[in-house]
Amino acid sequence: MAAAGLISLLLLPHGGHSAAEVAGWFGLPLLLGAGSLVIARVDLAPYGRWATPLGAEAVRGAERHEALALAVHGVRAVHEPQFRAALTVRTAA
């Protein structure tokens, strides 16, 4: 994105727009996107993988609940052959 903005500033005709306007059209989205990533990184830093201890405990105990085990571990967590076969059947689109 930055390279496209630099090429636009240096090589392309601006069609009546100043270099500052062209730089703004490329620079502002780049600045806002980078700022969002920085905010997300700072915001997520103090948290672990799970939002609450209750959520982590539920995932550790997923083997006791078939629906939760299916959601966490996928089809390999299902022990009943008929149920597993029903989940792995693919239909033509």
Per-residue pLDDT of 46-74, as tens digits, reads 555 666 777 777 777 766 777 777 887 88
Helices (H) and strands (E) in the chain, counts: 5, 0
Is 53 or 30 the better-scoring residue by pLDDT?
A: 30
Percent of the chain with pLDDT over 70: 74
What is residue 12's predicted lDDT score, i.e. its pLDDT? 66
Segment 25-51 shows an average pLDDT of 77
How many residues in total does the chain contain? 93
As given in the structure block, the two tokens for residue 8 are 């636009």
Buried b (16+ CB within 10 A) or exposed e, 6-23: eebeeeeeeeeeeeeebe
- Examine the pLDDT at 45 and tell me if it is beyond 70: no
pLDDT-based confidence at residue 33 (cuts at 50, 70, 90) = very high
- Mean pLDDT, the chain, integer: 76
